[in-house]
Amino acid sequence: MCFDLDSRPPIPPLAGAAVDGQLITLRTADGTQFSAFHAVPDAPTGAAIMILPDVRGLHTFYEELALRFAEAGVEALSIDYFARSAGLKSGDNRGESFDYQPHVGQIEWDNVVADMRAATAYLHARPGVHALFSTGFCMGGRFAYDSGTEADLSLSGVIGFYGWPAPGGGRGGSPSPTERAAEFTCPVLGLFGGADQGIPQNVVDDFERALSGAGIEHDIVSYPGAPHSFFDRKAAEFHDASTDAWRRTLAFISDHTPRENAAAA
């Protein structure tokens, strides 16, 4: 598991920022409805981001993270994976009593891709959006990397937080980002804990070598001493790593988002 249910993003709310966030329902090409949390900035930058949660699906951490992105001017959409087995999110049906494990076992990669297509189509159609990114954590981190190999999503960049990139271990049959390095269509930012016992440094190094060999623009960062799931308000001892990871994330988005006059040209 990645984050605990009471975990929160280690990003303080931005004083004076005005954002609007709400739970919405999206529909895939085959008619499946699924839940997503949509956060809209008051002062948009032209960037939007699809957020791919960990194994718990769409819980409070990812709703709050969407709000933090929106406060930074990035329109955000956090999606839920479990519509096909657990129905739409409503009330507290993804709360503490929700047994997510049986639903994780029913995830299929083709369905995740279908959900991502619906989510990215929704964001691409939003007014003023001219650069779209994806980010994810743990299981969602691998999904975020893989999204960068799906050309029809038209992403400007992908950001993975401690996602397993190597062959094997992919939930729902998700492919290995390392093996698919040559298929990336956008830049990659990878953020890892140097003390992550589940993702050894050689796995991170292999991923970076594969991206380099494929000529893919990338920045792979390992934080010494930081464990898996370090990006958590409760993990105060890893505040410096979290702060730097958030800074790098926003800089990556800014660097790969065309300025308004360039987008209009």
How many structural domains are present in the chain?
1
Mean pLDDT, rounded, for 8-34? 83
| Range from 109-123, 179-193, 203-217, 229-243 carrying the lowest mean pLDDT | 229-243
Work out the percent of the chain whose per-residue pLDDT is above 70.
92
* Site of tokens 């955000």: 76
Q: What number of other Cβ atoms are within 10 A of residue 180's Cβ?
A: 17
Q: Residue 179: inside a domain, yes or no?
A: yes
Q: Tell me whether strands 218-223 and 47-52 are parallel, antiparallel or unpaired.
A: unpaired
Q: Residue 144: inside a domain, yes or no?
A: yes
For residue range 108-121, list pLDDT tens digits in order: 999 999 999 999 99
Distance CA 18, CA 73 (A): 10
Q: What is the pLDDT of residue 264?
A: 43
Confidence category of residue 14, pLDDT binned at 50, 70, 90: low
Q: What is the CATH number of the domain that holds 26?
A: 3.40.50.1820
User: Structure pTM?
Assistant: 0.93
Q: Residue 209: inside a domain, yes or no?
A: yes
Q: What is the pLDDT of residue 261?
A: 43
Mean pLDDT, rounded, for 7-22? 72
For residue range 46-84, list pLDDT tens digits in order: 999 999 999 989 988 999 999 999 999 999 999 999 999
Domain residues for the domain of 34 are 19-264
Q: Residue 8: inside a domain, yes or no?
A: no
Mean pLDDT, rounded, for 230-240? 84
Burial of 160: CB neighbours in 10 Å, binned 0-12, 13-18, 19+: buried
